[in-house]
């Protein structure tokens, strides 16, 4: 072990990294653009090239490189990866390149059809021969993997090898030490910690870059606060797993010094996934605007007639990050329903509900105004339902891991709503919410939306 400390990372690059910018983004975009040019040179020689002016080709290649970059970003290629046991980049980059190239081809077809309808003399707004595009799709994944290798080499040369803390019980530390020596692992062990409460101080003192958690029993003590504090310091935490944990369905195991590890993250969804989810929300709301605006206006008129004013009812709910916000819905109860100031839970047959408004609650139409919260980012189309602060405080004390449901904005509907009922226990609903976060994808959101429509029509709430 050694007490040498590497030079700190440049401040500008650190700030850019924390804002989501990665140097490898420039390399990836440049690689896709260069591949586009080289495939044209391979087929047609040096410019000028046939049919279209050089400026239009340059624009086409720049737009295509941007599309590839967006696909790589939302595909998670620019999330902070551990220097130890990094996952293979090539398979994922190849899949994302295929998706990006397919989108470029589809976009070209759509724009070409629109130009032909307008009588334009330009046949293709993005001149990119299909053969060339296929070649770029095939080679882009390789280029991305090579770029990762270059960046990893540059980082190791600048910062030195990963500075690792071995943490766990004495026998587990001894086993890991033996594997590090036997495998000649390219890492530097800067400390060994057998006290679970000393890890944060040790990391700060040694300027460690990675922590190998060798004893699974410590996870309950470290999660989520300690792991969150280490993540804020850009310190990666890897947990050694055995056969039992693997049988429970763990995937994407990482090998470090011949031992299997999984990456521990303070948040279930990566930043790129949360941004993609936000983009999907806005697209869904805009595309369906004619439908929900008509429904919103019709229900509002109905409420004015049968319930009068005030039209909306406001409740304080807990949103993303545990922050509270004022959630609105159509008022379906008498104005004196909560004269004592306390917010009471409502059950079936509640006498406070206005009879002509019961169908709104049965079909969840009273929640239509919450679409406005989606536009402002307070809520999402799909996600855990927002709870009252007093209920949340109790659940956080009683149910381990309850705070993780606040990683994303609450939703109009969610996995717990299509599988559970109004009175389903909170612990079981949490299981659905966490399952949603772990397995999130755009397809899952669309599936939940479709199943919600069925639940509402069947009035199975």
> What does the pLDDT look like over 122-178, one tens digit per residue?
667 788 888 999 999 999 999 999 999 888 888 888 888 999 999 999 999 999 999
Pairing of strands 163-167, 324-330: unpaired
On whether both 340 and 193 belong to a single domain, the answer is: no
Name, in order, each residue with C-beta under 8 angstroms of 311's C-beta and a sequence gap of 6 or more: 300, 303, 304, 330, 331
CB 263 within 8 A of CB 66: no
Per-residue model confidence (pLDDT) at position 247? 53
**Helices and strands, number each (H, E), in the chain:** 18, 10
Which residues of the chain fall short of a pLDDT of 70? 1-20, 119-123, 243-252, 336-349, 420-424, 459-461
Q: How far apart are CA 126 and CA 124, in angstroms?
A: 5
CB 128 within 8 A of CB 61: yes
On whether both 174 and 292 belong to a single domain, the answer is: no
Per-residue model confidence (pLDDT) at position 341? 45
Cα–Cα distances (Å) from 284 to 102, 118, 215, 236, 289, in that order, read 22, 29, 45, 35, 8
On whether both 177 and 192 belong to a single domain, the answer is: yes
Q: Is residue 6 part of a domain?
A: no
Per-residue model confidence (pLDDT) at position 63? 94
Question: Bridge-partner residues for 192, per DSSP?
Answer: 166
Number of domains in the chain: 3
Per-residue model confidence (pLDDT) at position 121? 58
Name, in order, each residue with C-beta under 8 angstroms of 31's C-beta and a sequence gap of 6 or more: 140, 143, 144, 146, 147
On whether both 18 and 124 belong to a single domain, the answer is: yes
On whether both 132 and 246 belong to a single domain, the answer is: no
Q: How many CB atoms lie within 10 A of CB 205?
A: 13
On whether both 327 and 222 belong to a single domain, the answer is: no
Q: Is residue 235 part of a domain?
A: yes
How would you write 57-122 as a 3-class SS string?
HHHHHHHHHHHHHHHHHHCCCCCCCCCCCCCCCHHHHHHHHHHHHHHHHHHHHHHHHHHHHCCCCC
On whether both 179 and 307 belong to a single domain, the answer is: no
Domain with 222, as residue range(s), is 163-264
Domain boundary among 221, 240, 264: 264
Domain boundary among 236, 264, 292: 264
| Tokens encoding 195 | 């006290």
On whether both 74 and 207 belong to a single domain, the answer is: no
On whether both 109 and 15 belong to a single domain, the answer is: yes
On whether both 167 and 34 belong to a single domain, the answer is: no
On whether both 329 and 440 belong to a single domain, the answer is: yes
pLDDT tens-digit readout, 71-95 = 999 998 988 778 887 778 899 999 9
Per-residue model confidence (pLDDT) at position 250? 57
On whether both 147 and 168 belong to a single domain, the answer is: no
Q: Is residue 1 part of a domain?
A: no
């Amino acid at each position: 072990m050694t007490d040498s400390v590497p030079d700190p990372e440049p401040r500008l690059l650190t700030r850019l990294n924390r804002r989501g910018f990665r140097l490898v983004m420039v390399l990836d975009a440049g690689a896709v653009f260069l591949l586009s040019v080289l495939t044209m040179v391979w087929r047609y020689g040096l410019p000028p090239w046939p049919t279209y002016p050089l400026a239009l080709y340059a624009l086409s290649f720049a737009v295509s490189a941007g599309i590839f970059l967006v696909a790589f970003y939302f595909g998670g290629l620019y999330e902070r990866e551990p220097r130890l046991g990094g996952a293979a980049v090539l398979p994922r980059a190849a899949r994302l390149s295929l998706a990006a190239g397919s989108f470029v081809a589809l976009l070209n077809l759509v724009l070409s059809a629109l130009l032909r309808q307008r009588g334009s003399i330009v046949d293709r707004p993005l001149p990119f021969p299909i053969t060339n595009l296929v070649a770029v799709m095939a080679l882009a994944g390789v280029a991305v993997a090579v770029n990762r290798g270059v960046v990893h080499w540059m980082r190791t040369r600048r910062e030195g090898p990963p500075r690792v803390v071995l943490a766990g019980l004495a026998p587990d530390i001894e086993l890991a030490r033996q594997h590090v020596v036997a495998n000649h692992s390219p890492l530097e062990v800067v400390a060994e910690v057998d006290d679970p409460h000393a890890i944060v101080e040790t990391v700060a003192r040694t300027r460690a870059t990675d922590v190998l958690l060798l004893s699974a029993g410590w996870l309950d003590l470290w999660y989520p606060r300690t792991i969150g504090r280490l993540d804020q310091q850009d310190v990666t935490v890897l947990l050694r797993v055995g056969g039992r944990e693997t049988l429970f369905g763990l995937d994407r195991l990482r090998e470090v010094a011949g031992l299997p590890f999984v990456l521990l993250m303070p948040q279930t969804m990566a930043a790129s996934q949360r941004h993609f989810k936000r983009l999907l929300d806005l697209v869904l709301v805009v595309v369906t605007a004619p439908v929900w605006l008509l429904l919103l206006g019709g229900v509002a008129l109905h409420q004015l007639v049968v319930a009068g004013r005030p039209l909306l009812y406001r409740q304080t709910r807990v949103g993303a990050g545990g922050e509270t916000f004022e959630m609105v819905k159509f008022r379906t109860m008498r104005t004196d329903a909560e004269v004592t100031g306390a917010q009471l839970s409502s059950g079936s047959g509640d006498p406070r509900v206005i009879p002509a408004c019961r169908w709104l609650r049965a079909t969840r139409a009273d929640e239509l105004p919450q679409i406005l919260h989606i536009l402002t980012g307070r809520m999402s189309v799909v996600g855990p339902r927002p709870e009252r602060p007093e209920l949340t405080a109790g659940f956080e004390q009683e149910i381990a891991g309850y705070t993780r449901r606040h990683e994303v904005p609450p939703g109009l509907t969610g996995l717990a709503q299509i599988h559970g009922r109004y009175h389903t226990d909170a612990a079981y609903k949490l299981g659905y919410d966490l399952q949603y976060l772990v397995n999130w994808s755009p397809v899952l959101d669309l599936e939940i939306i479709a199943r919600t429509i069925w639940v509402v029509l069947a009035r199975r709430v």
